[in-house]
Structure 1
Amino acid sequence: MDRSSFMAGNGYVILPSRLQQYDFTSGYIVSYQSFVMATPSLAPRWDNLLFPLSWEVWVSVIAASVVLAGVLTMLGQAGRATYPSLSQSVLEVYKILLGQDFSQWRARTTASRIVIAAWLVVALIVGVAYRGNLTASLTSPVYPPRPETAAALVKAVERINIPPYGADWKKFYLASNSEVFNAIGKLLYVGPSMEEGLRLTAEKNHAVIANRQFLDYVIAQNFTDATGKARLYVAQSNLETVFLGYPIPHGAPYKPLLDRIILAFTESGLFLKWHGDQMDEVRAAIFSKQRQQEGRANEAASDGQATSLTIAHMQGPFLFLTFGLVTAFLVFLVELVFRFLLNADR
């Protein structure tokens, strides 16, 4: 606007709102705009004990246990008190299911022995499958789903941050005919630096919009631990695909010359070669840093700290124990009441 030229080593995105103020050289590289959010963490779940088997399997096991207890009771009555009561039949069925012993003296008839043998096979398969899947689910848990698209982004976050240069991006999103982009523009907050925006993203329900390659670099350098687990992640889908160019005044006589020079660099692949070399150097530095951190992590692992299960994994057993204690206490109170009433009648 002041008829002066500004050249910088960093790219400048060619946006419609910027074209009204100044012109651009020919685009020399493609920029992919994406967003970054905090990697979902594990929350304590009471149903970790149920996760290894589907609801259909659990219902089938319970139904089979009830039917089997009834069959054993009927066989006991036909065989003259092989199984005197339904409660004892239920106890035998669940003892086998939990891998405990069963009262062999009750299986006196051939029919009852066949039924128990079939149930032993079922209990073996269910028990092995449950223990194997339980171990796998506790050591390699399934993390909650994370937003990967623009539509999911606007529903998941409270605010989207962008560095001070993002004022034009906010205008761009608000002027879009897309409802999703309009929602992004309303959530977009211009002001914090990239470091501050990423820190807020890691600590709060925020997101940051920036160039994908730059985000990958910053996350790998500052938000990734020695095991390769990142506190932040870049979404798989891109919000925008734009070109980078150098801003120049409208009607600048040197634009054709700059375009020819930039085109020569672009067609020879020098921009891509430079970016590839930069990323290789960054990866090498990050790999060396992580190797040093892994050495310290392995020392901590030798003390048994790295593989410890947290309450997020083991909340289910403790809740189940609490439920059992409360149920037993209530049953104990009911038994006391019934005993008191029976003694009062006598």
Structure 2
Amino acid sequence: MMVLTAPWMAPHIVLPLLMAASWCGFHGVAEVRQESPSPTIQHTLINRSTDNITKALPTPMMSDHEGSHSQDNRRNYETPTLFSRKMLSSSSSSQRIIGMRGQSTGTAGIGNSSISQRDSPLNDSEEASLTALLTWVVRRELRPCSLLLAHDPHYAHSHVLNSLIHLPNPKQVVVAREAGDLAGVLWQARQCRGYIFLFHSPQPLLAFTALSDDLWDFQGRYVVVGASRDQLYTLFTSGKATNTEHLLGIIRGWRDGEWSVYSHALYSGGSLLVRVSTWRHSAFTTTTQLFRDKLRDLRGAQLKVVTFEFEPSVLYYRDSSGALQFPFGIDIEVVRALSTVLNFTVVFEEPPSGELWGVETENGTWNGMVGKLARGEADIGVANLFLTMGRQGAVDYSAPYDAEVSCFLVRSDPPVAPWLSLALPFQLATWLSLLVGLLLASFLLLCFSAAGTNSGDKSSILSPTHACLYSFGMHFREPQDLLSRQSSVRLIISFLWLYTIIITIAYSSNLTAFLTVTRLHPGIDTVKALYASDMEVSGLGIFFKGALASAVDPYLQGLAERFVSYQDLKVVWEGVKAGRAAYLHNRQFLEFVITTQFTSAQGGSTMRIMKECFAPYSIAMALQRHSPLKAKFDRVIRWMLESGLVRRWFLESLRLSRKVKTKKTSEDEGNSNLSRSEGDGANTRNSGFIPLSISHMQGVFFILGIGHLISLLVLISERSYEGIKKQVPFVLDYDDEK
């Protein structure tokens, strides 16, 4: 029922219309209330004409069939369906039209004479005191709010309801005989929303709390009148009330005109009912704020946080025996910061083994973390939780405090053998070109020298072997003691020197880079290449399979068909190490895993992240549906992001986790290795030089060893040849004959 006041409706307009409507005999019910200085209220039922009333009022109105009270005629604020007229007899003889909407009442509703003022559950003193109390609450605590006044027939003609109707707040009035009468009365308003329930017995309201959560306004301010302490306790412990911050219960006191105001303590392990104050006739006995901010300071209340170890968001620090000492990580630090600001105590719990975040079962319920939140067994859930619509109906999300993209982790191909670094500065085609150039230069030197010999030049190159050695020595920038007197030979040698200088400088410069930097084989770096490789795509749970299937890229959609879900990362790592699979997860997690598990003391890693990633996601914490904590949490999270704390916590978690991983091997050795590694890194950053190790120079020793081996073979061949000459007389010595 909605109340509209229309001071322009004067008696000389209203009375003729009502008389005409009664004479015409049209069906419908209108209620005429006449007020005078006397508290007596007279009720008169008259017939009205819908057509005549429509002409008289600026807003179109509809009438219900007489005697019907089951039809729902709730409409928008601008088009009330059930209306009543109240004629006020006062010194000014002012008249007001009160438009009412809500549950249709007909003759069995407000106009039912079987429920009169004598049936009111309150005496005059109690009614006057309650009227003053509720008027004070509306004017002080609900002044900017739109109101819903819900009452049972016992309060239909009470002075309490009449006084509330005349308050200036926008309002609607509903007669509630059962829980179904309250369904659908929620309405949207830009300002705050207040709900006042006047019941002789609050059974309709208690039954209403068992209906769908969508029918309840969790941000509204509620005032319940007429419940006993036991009934109020039942109401305050309902699922809807535990997630509603502003809820008051008014109970009749022991003294005449005394009312006790109770509220409920959110997230409190003690008594749920909290006495706020006591009202006696016209004032509270103590100064208090009825709708105070209960979440600004939770006063050490225990909040259950469901989480599990998932690096780097949640990590466990364990002692030497394996016992858990404390959790740490990005998500844990976010929760601890919230607990410090809002003053609550954190109790960590884990979901059942293997369920992790949880999935929706066949019967529509959830298991895992989401299931514990949906059943009210926990208050907060954190563990690198992506903000997705799939879980939106089961939990609420806080404001995101981190963002990530989905990437693939693949095996790093073994690096190129260091001894091959001597050949890496030039490509194969370049080496072949240099060989051809060497042979060509030797041939030209021989030809030009032969021409000079014919002309009498005795210093020229006389044999092919001599020409090749001469050209080969120039490529190594070694000076030659033989210089032809022929100008053409000198000219070709000059250009050959220029050619070899450029080649040797280019080779030496590039060789330095290949000696100091580990060269890796080219691997898979794009989604297209991964799709063409026929590798398995692994992941935890089925979340990333949906991300692949919903992607626009056809190659990503194809990878969704090869996606295999696992619950144990150890099994996943075996497939990735063997090169059979690529693991899909967010980049931050993959960076952490590579740093802490797959990076050697020398800095080499057996895993790498593909360059091409997809699907950015926001990371948030999960809360119970309609949790009153969300607004406070969102505000504090914004402070964290503005101050850069989240990134700092990630770096601290990374360092601490690496120390923990090293400590598992050997505490003393791990600390010394960590210090040495940090010291070497600092020296490298400060000096900018990288000393060459034996691993860098093994190619040189490889060539030296090959040279020694070839020389030994030649020596053995020469000795064998000398022995053959002695044993076989007819073997001639070429030098002797010469």
Normalised TM-score (structure 1):
0.70
Query: What is the aligned partner in structure 1 of residue 640 from structure 2?
Result: 269
Q: 2:410, 2:579 within 8 Å by CA — same for their partners in 1?
A: no
User: Does residue 1:130 correspond to 2:507, yes or no?
Assistant: yes
Q: Out of 270-279 and 188-197, give the one that drifted further.
A: 270-279
The equivalent position to 2:587 in structure 1, one of 196, 209, 212, is 212
User: Does residue 1:292 correspond to 2:667, yes or no?
Assistant: no
1:148-199 CA distance string (max 9 Å, x none):
4433333446222212xx2233244235453222222122221142344235
Q: CA deviation at 1:49?
A: 4.1
CA distance 1:112–1:11, change in 2 (3 Å)? closer
Aligned length: 320
The 5 A counterparts of 1:1-346 are: 1-2=364-365, 4-5=375-376, 7-19=380-392, 22-29=394-401, 30-44=403-417, 48-54=421-427, 57-58=430-431, 61-80=434-453, 82-86=460-464, 88-99=466-477, 102=480, 104=482, 107-156=484-533, 158-163=535-540, 166-245=541-620, 252=625, 254-255=626-627, 257-269=628-640, 275-285=646-656, 292-293=672-673, 307-309=693-695
Rounded to whole Å, the distance in 2 between the matches of 1:10 and 1:153 is 29
CA distance 1:310–1:259, change in 2 (3 Å)? same
Q: 1:226, 1:291 within 8 Å by CA — same for their partners in 2?
A: no
CA distance 1:259–1:123, change in 2 (3 Å)? same
Q: 1:41, 1:143 within 8 Å by CA — same for their partners in 2?
A: yes
Rounded to whole Å, the distance in 2 between the matches of 1:88 and 1:314 is 27
Rounded to whole Å, the distance in 2 between the matches of 1:179 and 1:273 is 37
Rounded to whole Å, the distance in 1 between the matches of 2:555 and 2:702 is 39
Q: 2:640, 2:646 within 8 Å by CA — same for their partners in 1?
A: no
Rounded to whole Å, the distance in 2 between the matches of 1:93 and 1:37 is 48
For the aligned residue pairs, the C-alpha RMSD in angstroms reads: 4.5
CA distance 1:92–1:25, change in 2 (3 Å)? closer
Q: CA deviation at 1:244?
A: 3.5
Amino acid at match of 1:160: V
Q: Out of 288-297 and 129-138, give the one that drifted further.
A: 288-297
Q: 2:590, 2:609 within 8 Å by CA — same for their partners in 1?
A: yes
CA distance 1:39–1:291, change in 2 (3 Å)? farther
Q: 2:516, 2:696 within 8 Å by CA — same for their partners in 1?
A: no
CA distance 1:294–1:100, change in 2 (3 Å)? farther
Rounded to whole Å, the distance in 2 between the matches of 1:131 and 1:270 is 50
Q: 1:31, 1:244 within 8 Å by CA — same for their partners in 2?
A: yes
Amino acid at match of 1:96: M
Rounded to whole Å, the distance in 2 between the matches of 1:108 and 1:83 is 11
Q: 1:17, 1:172 within 8 Å by CA — same for their partners in 2?
A: no
CA distance 1:188–1:310, change in 2 (3 Å)? farther
Amino acid at match of 1:15: T
CA distance 1:15–1:127, change in 2 (3 Å)? same
Query: What is the aligned partner in structure 1 of residue 316 from structure 2?
Result: none
Give SS of 1:40's match. Answer: coil
Amino acid at match of 1:263: D
Give SS of 1:268's match. Answer: helix
Amino acid at match of 1:78: A
Q: CA deviation at 1:260?
A: 1.7
Rounded to whole Å, the distance in 2 between the matches of 1:139 and 1:11 is 38
Rounded to whole Å, the distance in 2 between the matches of 1:196 and 1:136 is 38
Q: 1:27, 1:243 within 8 Å by CA — same for their partners in 2?
A: no
Give SS of 1:79's match. Answer: helix
Unaligned ranges ≥5, structure 1: 300-305, 329-342
1:243-275 CA distance string (max 9 Å, x none):
3445568xx4x25x3442332133222698553
Q: 1:14, 1:24 within 8 Å by CA — same for their partners in 2?
A: no
Rounded to whole Å, the distance in 2 between the matches of 1:206 and 1:272 is 39
CA distance 1:277–1:176, change in 2 (3 Å)? closer
Amino acid at match of 2:449: G
Q: 2:381, 2:622 within 8 Å by CA — same for their partners in 1?
A: no
CA distance 1:95–1:10, change in 2 (3 Å)? closer
Give SS of 1:112's match. Answer: helix
Rounded to whole Å, the distance in 1 between the matches of 2:697 and 2:449 is 45
Instruction: Give the % identical residues.
Output: 15
Rounded to whole Å, the distance in 1 between the matches of 2:532 and 2:704 is 34
- Greater strand share, 1 or 2? 2
Q: CA deviation at 1:96?
A: 2.8
Unaligned ranges ≥5, structure 2: 1-363, 366-373, 455-459, 663-669, 681-691, 715-730, 732-738
Give SS of 1:260's match. Answer: helix
CA distance 1:124–1:24, change in 2 (3 Å)? same
Rounded to whole Å, the distance in 1 between the matches of 2:446 and 2:480 is 15
Q: CA deviation at 1:93?
A: 1.8
Rounded to whole Å, the distance in 2 between the matches of 1:226 and 1:145 is 23
Amino acid at match of 1:133: N
1:278-317 CA distance string (max 9 Å, x none):
3232244367667632567899xxxxxx933389968995
Q: 1:173, 1:182 within 8 Å by CA — same for their partners in 2?
A: yes
1:7-26 CA distance string (max 9 Å, x none):
3222432334445x635335
